[in-house]
């Protein structure tokens, strides 16, 4: 048995198998459809990429055009556009066109709240 297996065996499992059916049944009613969890996983996957997190954080202060965002983050416009396309697909950012310029902002206050809570969590050490 490896060290990891001993640690897992010591604290991450019950020493005795005993399913509390009443608790499990009640909790099962509270679960959401599987596709909801898949959407949630995609959201966290998007937030799990440092480049996308930086883009979202920059946009949390207000709208920016793609050129300004690329300059601010010191990455190419192509790289910024790629990240924005993914974030837009997940409804985390939205855009508006003004002539030849494209401006991005966070999709809504929920995104700002997610970002704020995540930053508070990682800062709370």
- What's the pLDDT tens digit per position in 91-106? 999 999 999 999 999 9
* Spans of all domains in the chain: 21-123
Query: How does pLDDT run across 32-47, given as a tens digit for each residue?
Result: 999 999 999 999 999 9
Query: What CATH fold (topology level) applies to the domain 21-123?
Result: Arc Repressor Mutant, subunit A (1.10.10)
Q: If we measure between CA atoms, which residue out of 15, 75, 18, 23 comes closest to residue 50?
A: 75
The residue whose two tokens read 């005795």 is 16
Q: If we measure between CA atoms, which residue out of 71, 78, 74, 68 comes closest to residue 103?
A: 68
CB 77 within 8 A of CB 37: no
Compute the distance between CA of residue 46 and CA of residue 89 in angstroms, rounded to an integer: 10
pTM summary value: 0.78
Give the pLDDT confidence score for residue 4 in this predicted structure: 61
CA 77-79-81 angle, to 5 degrees, is 65
Would you give the DSSP letter of residue 95? E
The percentage of the chain sitting over the pLDDT mark of 90, rounded to a whole number, equals 83
Task: Please provide the DSSP assignment of 24-51 as one string.
Answer: HHHHHHHPPPHHHHHHHHHHHHHHTSHH
């Amino acid at each position: 048995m490896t060290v990891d297996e001993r640690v897992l065996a010591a604290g991450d499992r019950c020493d005795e198998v005993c399913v509390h059916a009443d608790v499990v049944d009640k909790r099962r009613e509270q679960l959401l459809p599987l596709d909801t969890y898949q959407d949630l996983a995609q959201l966290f996957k998007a937030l799990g990429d440092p480049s996308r997190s930086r883009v979202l954080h920059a946009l949390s202060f207000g709208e920016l055009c793609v050129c300004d965002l690329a300059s601010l983050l010191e990455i190419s416009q192509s790289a910024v556009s790629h990240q924005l396309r993914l974030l837009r697909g997940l409804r985390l950012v939205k855009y508006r066109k003004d002539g030849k310029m494209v401006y991005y902002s966070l999709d809504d206050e929920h995104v700002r709240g997610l970002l704020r809570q995540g930053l508070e969590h990682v800062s709370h050490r």
